[in-house]
Amino acid sequence: MICMKIYKHGDELLISACDENILGKYFKEGKFRLRVKKKFYDGIRVNTKTLKEYLEKATIANLVGEETVNCAIEAGIVDPECVIRIQNVPHAQMVRML
């Protein structure tokens, strides 16, 4: 399952999502640090189909984990060349300019 939290501010729709098994964990590698905070990511539990539906509407997304990032890649929302890995955990961000 994927943990997803929705933030709406004016016309902006931010989606934070992560694989459930990495929620609350901390990763560091070289100069990169990634804290998968429950406060930011822990909302509803969704499958990849539901995540794709929300990502298609999102203006901003913060995505962590194999299942989550692969879902965004398959949906054409994230370019696989733009994914970074921290301790082999994929992380991607997306901003849609309207």
Percentage, residues of the chain above pLDDT 90: 98
pLDDT value at residue 19: 98
Per cent of the chain over pLDDT 70 is 99
pLDDT digits (tens, 9 = 90+) for 17-59: 999 999 999 999 999 999 999 999 999 999 999 999 999 999 9
Which two three-digit tokens encode residue 39? 């406060």
Phi, psi of 52 (to 5 degrees): -60, -40
DSSP-assigned beta bridge partners for residue 12: 9
CATH of span 2-95: 3.30.1860.10
Q: What is the arithmetic mean of pLDDT over 65-69? A: 98
Angle at Cα 80 formed by Cα 10 and Cα 1, nearest 5°?
65
